[in-house]
Chains A and B, each alone.
Chain A
Amino acid sequence: DVKVTQSSRYLVKRTGEKVFLECVQDMDHENMFWYRQDPGLGLRLIYFSYDVKMKEKGDIPEGYSVSREKKERFSLILESASTNQTSMYLCASTVRGWNEQYFGPGTRLTVT
């Protein structure tokens, strides 16, 4: 079974803090994705990566950056957290050439 894990289920941070969200997959998947999900807005793609050290902006990259130093790990960084970044953050991965994305459990981030 595909296993995608995220570093925290719940996180509370203060405005202006630098926040790291980590995602690890154990299936040797090339492609990894970060989404945020908000009521009424659905799933929105922040960044994705199709290889180590490669990254592509998604639909809402502003205020975020990513790092992919190893194939199994994809990190999302909030450089200076703001209250409008309070959301559910979801990581997903897929094998190159296939399109079934498998999601981690999610991190519910609250910025106060």
Chain B
Amino acid sequence: QKEVEQNSGPLSVPEGAIASLNCTYSDRVSQSFFWYRQYSGKSPELIMSIYSNGDKEDGRFTAQLNKASQYVSLLIRDSQPSDSATYLCAVKFTYNQGGKLIFGQGTELSVKP
């Protein structure tokens, strides 16, 4: 079983809609959770981090964490074509030393005008 799993997509949403990206992880005892955005041919860019259960909002982005169910999600409100990218979920497990993160395979998001 992979430690961090994401649906590879592509997820297609119309412009202005809410895009919902999901990530599940294998270990109940995990510390930190991150969402990265990666445009084609570019490097990952950190867009959200979340450390405790509940919601965390930053502009059009909301990260949701449920440690009991072992999932973290990213909601993008009012999706724009410029949001089209691959979104990577990353988890810092307690047993990983040195700040090591485990990344999911990423979900490709396509926002149609």
Interface residues of A (CB under 8 A from B): 31, 33, 40, 42-43, 45, 48-50, 56, 58, 90, 94, 96, 98-106
Residues in A whose Cβ lies below 8 Å from that of B45: 103
* Residue interface mask B28-51, A partner, CB < 8 A = 1: 000110101000001111100100
Query: A42–B104 contact, CB under 8 A?
Result: yes
Known pairs A42-B103, A90-B43, A106-B43; A99 contacts B98 (CB<8 A): no
B residues lining the A interface (CB < 8 Å): 31-32, 34, 36, 42-46, 49, 88, 90, 92, 97-101, 103-106
Q: How far is the CA of A48 from the CA of B100 in the complex (A)?
A: 8
- CB<8 Å pairs between A and B, sample of 19: A31-B99, A33-B99, A33-B100, A40-B105, A42-B88, A42-B103, A48-B100, A50-B97, A58-B100, A90-B43, A96-B99, A99-B92, A100-B34, A100-B46, A100-B49, A101-B99, A102-B46, A103-B43, A105-B42
Q: How far is the CA of A58 from the CA of B96 in the complex (A)?
A: 11
Residues A99 and B32 in contact, CB atoms below 8 Å apart: yes
* Contacting residue for B106 out of A42, A90, A100, CB 8 A: A42
Closest residue of chain A to B45, judged by CB? Answer: A103
* Extra 18 A-B pairs, beta carbons < 8 Å, given A43-B103, A103-B44: A33-B99, A42-B103, A42-B105, A42-B106, A43-B88, A50-B97, A50-B98, A50-B99, A56-B97, A56-B98, A94-B99, A96-B99, A99-B49, A99-B99, A99-B101, A100-B46, A100-B49, A105-B42
Q: How far is the CA of A100 from the CA of B92 in the complex (A)?
A: 9
The winner among A43, A56, A58, A98 for most chain B CB atoms within 10 A is: A43
